[in-house]
Chain A
Amino acid sequence: MNSFLKRLLGVIPVVFGVLLLTFLLVHLVPGDPVEVMLGESATTADRTQLRAELGLDQPLPIQFVTYLGKLAQGNFGYSIHTHTPISRLLAERLPATVELALLALSIALFIGLPLGIVAAIRYRQWPDKMATVSALTLSAMPHFWLGPLLMLVFALWLGWLPVNGMESRASIVLPALTLACGLTAILTRMTRASLLEVLSEDFVRTARAKGLSQRVVVLRHALKAALLPVVTIVGLQLGSLLAGAVITETVFGWDGVGRLLVESIEKRDYPVTQACVLVIALIYVLVNLLTDLTYARLDPRVRFTR
């Protein structure tokens, strides 16, 4: 438990670093939110006044400290453009991203793991070749291309699913499939490679020598050991999915965190950008922590050292 707490505390400097870096980057890129808000006909006095009201006339270190102070009170601030509390924006967008990420991951696991297992069992036979070619093809498809392609096939030609939006439950299928395709490919290849390695180890040979069936050898003994690298990949991929699949969310009009982040960058809405990046960083760090914990559960040899 102590070592877990230690790892949890280790998250703090990471998050602080992310905050500092985001703050600096956001303030150093060209574009002044005051000019965006007031337009080109405002007087210099108006700009100066608004800049002072927003605290943008203060030196960057003071702005950063003020920002940290508000964050410590759980106050993300307000959107410069819509005057909406950022916590409300995040509360609206985060569930959509989580829902999409979990479904994409489930699809990828449901297809990728069995495919990888079949490919490993049928090494160099037609199922293996098919799985390998499919995985390669899927991983070569960028989301901005695959998304419209799926829309064309499933929405326009077959008429099974809506093109985009979030109006019906079925709307989630195409963006989830788009995200799942690349992930399925990675999982298939990783499961196959890992299982092939494990299947040639001594303990598997021993299990077979004991007369255990192929099903028991693979599913009970080999697979558990082979899943370790797969878990790492799943953790990392889930982190990036939860961080907002920017392109997929934009193409499919999915109101998630990724889309909110892009919109805020376009409008130079500093507080929203900073809040989004902070939330994304936190998600990444927490998911990775969870992955480490899962690792320890799967393999008794892996333990957090004191």
Chain B
Amino acid sequence: MPEHRSTASIVTCVKAFLLLAMVGLAACGKPATHDEIRFAIAQAPLTLDPRYATDAASERVNRLIYHQLVDFDVHYRPVPSLATWICSDARHCRFSLKTDGRTFHDGSRLTAEDVVATYRSLLELKDSPHTAEFANISDVLAVDADTVDFTLKHADDQFPARLIIGILPARLLAQAHDFSHHPIGSGPLKFVAWNRALQLQRVSDGQRFVLQEVRDPTVRVLKLLRGEADMLQGDLPPELVVYLKRQPSIVVKEVPGTNDSYLGFNMQDLVLRDVRVRRAITLSIDRDAIIHQAMIGGTRPATAILPPEHWAGNPNLKPYPHDPKEARRLLTEAGIRLPLKLVYKTSTDAQRVRLATIMQAQMQQAGIDLEIRSLDWGTFFDDVKHGKFQLYGLTWVGIKTPEIYRLAFHSASVPPAGANRGRVADEILDREIERGDWSAATARIHELLPYVPLWYEGQFLAMQAGFAGDHLSPDGNWDWMQTFRRKLK
């Protein structure tokens, strides 16, 4: 009997603990009501200093905290944001500040001196990823409180489109203020706090936003469903987007995207330097099937880095069809003994690996035996930059100007001097890029096939029902935060 008693007392203790725990948990209840709009993001910004920001999250937030001189219209032509401009020639441009958007969040007025100080500080920084982009600036001068003159070392007719760095207060720049953690700009949203989550406030009506990093896609979805997050955007596998669309309490908005996912070739590889082999690989991929089965809505086939609606886009380019028979014939013609063994490198991202697996199966029909190597991001990107690959998959994100063709395909842009990762070296293409004949350059790239443009991945915003606003952008920026609000009950 005593044995039974000691066992019973232990069991009773455990039962009591479980009961207390359940009562305690139940007391935690549902999330409290709130006024702020909570946005679950896959990756928190690395820095809120626009002089250092390169990651997508930082650039998207900085667009909202700071005003920039120039922005882009729907065809990606540069348009005035903070200033209008006139270029007297390809080396001299005068920017006149507009009247609106000229109050910094600390109450001081944005003047030409702030513009000058921002760009001068960029030129002086030794560890900024943007310094090289502005190395062509010979001088930047404030003519008066509202006018700034830029003088360039060399002619550049694309120059105004480069001035998309947020303007910082000169006074704080002189004090070496820590903008990366305590930003002060003049944009539509002002910084409130950044502890575990980034808090911003819309200047026009005081609406607060809380940006919380939630890395795991499933967890982001769970937070949205439970009401811990009000919205999330992008970075979800398609099946989760489909799942969200079926939820009555969730609204999903989709728009066509502009970020080009592509398959890169190593043009120095003994097999891949033959254009027939590259064409065969291109013909072996059934992009339409992948887009319909494994991509989110709004995804469309790509023919070039810049989409056809871009002012430098080429709507005349036709996507290569899916033709495994022709692919097999081309490989045989190129003297390849089938199956052709190739190695495809990608990151460890689950969706990337899935897409690689689908392409692997499709290529098999054309006699290509694709081996997939999924590597951690640092190792993968390092291999890509150093040319240690045969094929790889990546996406160009947020590209606005045709300068990307120089960076990605000019023979002088082989890393570390640029992003010509496939080591393309073609004199005709170089000349067309140098002339700025983008139509001819894209046609030449389409013919040479140094890479396969796969698709522009669609963008989506998933949110709780009961919000109003617009501005879901094809490049995935967060400009909707300028207008989104709760609908009145």
Contacts and interface: CB of A to CB of B under 8 A. Distances in A.
Interface of A: 29-32, 35-44, 46-47, 49-50, 53, 81-84, 110-111, 114-115, 117-118, 121-122, 127, 148, 151-152, 154-156, 158-168, 170, 173, 213-215, 218-219, 250-253, 255, 265-268
B174 interface: no
A156 B225 contact: yes
A284 B419 CA distance: 43
Contacts of A166: 196
Contact of B54 (A39, A110, A168): A39
B158 interface: no
Given A114-B14, A268-B378, A41 B133 contact: yes
Contacts of B419: 40-41
Nearest to B224: A163
Given A82-B180, A121-B7, A148-B219, A165 B127 contact: no
A275 to B, nearest CB: 18
Interface in B165-213: 180-181, 196-197, 212-213
A40 B14 contact: no
B452 to A, nearest CB: 21
Interface string B213-240: 1111011001101101000000000000
A131 B410 CA distance: 67
The winner among B9, B28, B128 for most chain A CB atoms within 10 A is B28
Contact of B126 (A30, A31, A49, A82): A49
Interface of B: 2-3, 5-7, 9-11, 13-14, 17, 25-26, 28-31, 46-47, 54, 126-133, 135, 180-181, 196-197, 212-216, 218-219, 222-223, 225-226, 228, 376-379, 381-383, 385, 407, 415-419
Given A41-B407, A166-B196, A156 B226 contact: yes
B28 A162 contact: yes
A83 B6 contact: no
Interface centre among B197, B222, B225 (most CB of A within 10 A): B222
Nearest to A46: B132
B377 A251 contact: no
A250 B383 contact: no
B222 A253 contact: no
Given A46-B126, A156-B222, A164-B223, 15 more contacts: A37-B129, A38-B132, A39-B130, A40-B407, A41-B129, A43-B132, A44-B417, A118-B7, A118-B11, A159-B30, A161-B28, A164-B214, A165-B223, A213-B6, A215-B9
A214 B127 contact: no
Contacts of A156: 222, 225-226
B219 A251 contact: yes
B421 to A, nearest CB: 9
A152 B222 contact: yes
B382 A31 contact: yes
A27 to B, nearest CB: 13
Nearest to B178: A83
B214 A253 contact: yes
B132 A42 contact: yes
Contact of B376 (A40, A47, A253, A266): A266
A165 B216 contact: no
Contacts of A46: 126, 131-132
A172 to B, nearest CB: 11
Contact of A159 (B11, B29, B378): B29
Contact of B378 (A30, A38, A160, A165): A30
B385 to A, nearest CB: 7
A121 B14 contact: no
A251 to B, nearest CB: 5
Contacts of B133: 41
Contact of B25 (A36, A81, A170): A170
24 contacts: A30-B379, A30-B382, A31-B379, A31-B382, A38-B128, A40-B418, A41-B133, A43-B132, A43-B417, A44-B416, A47-B416, A53-B127, A114-B14, A122-B7, A148-B216, A155-B226, A161-B28, A213-B2, A214-B2, A214-B6, A215-B9, A218-B6, A251-B219, A268-B378
Given A42-B132, A118-B10, A151 B219 contact: yes
Nearest to A165: B212
Given A114-B13, A251-B216, A42 B180 contact: no
B37 to A, nearest CB: 15
Contact of B196 (A49, A163, A165): A165
A171 to B, nearest CB: 9
Contacts of A267: 46, 378
Contacts of B7: 118, 121-122, 127
In this complex, the member of B7, B17, B214, B376 whose beta carbon has the largest number of chain A beta carbons within 10 angstroms is B7
Contact of A215 (B2, B11, B47, B226): B2
A2 B181 CA distance: 48
A159 B32 CA distance: 12
Contacts of A214: 2-3, 5-6
B127 A37 contact: yes
Nearest to A83: B180
Contacts of B213: 253
Nearest to A174: B25
Contacts of A41: 129, 132-133, 407, 418-419
Contacts of B13: 114
B30 A148 contact: no
Contacts of A40: 385, 407, 415-416, 418-419
Contacts of A173: 25, 28
Contacts of B215: 250, 253
B29 to A, nearest CB: 7
A76 B106 CA distance: 34
B228 to A, nearest CB: 5
A32 B376 CA distance: 14
A50 B13 CA distance: 62
Contacts of B219: 148, 151, 163-164, 251-253
A34 B380 CA distance: 16
Contacts of B216: 148, 250-251
Closest 4 CB pairs of A and B: A31-B378, A39-B129, A30-B382, A160-B25
A30 B383 contact: yes
A272 to B, nearest CB: 13
A106 B383 CA distance: 45
Given A121-B7, A253-B212, A253-B215, A110 B17 contact: yes
A43 B130 CA distance: 11
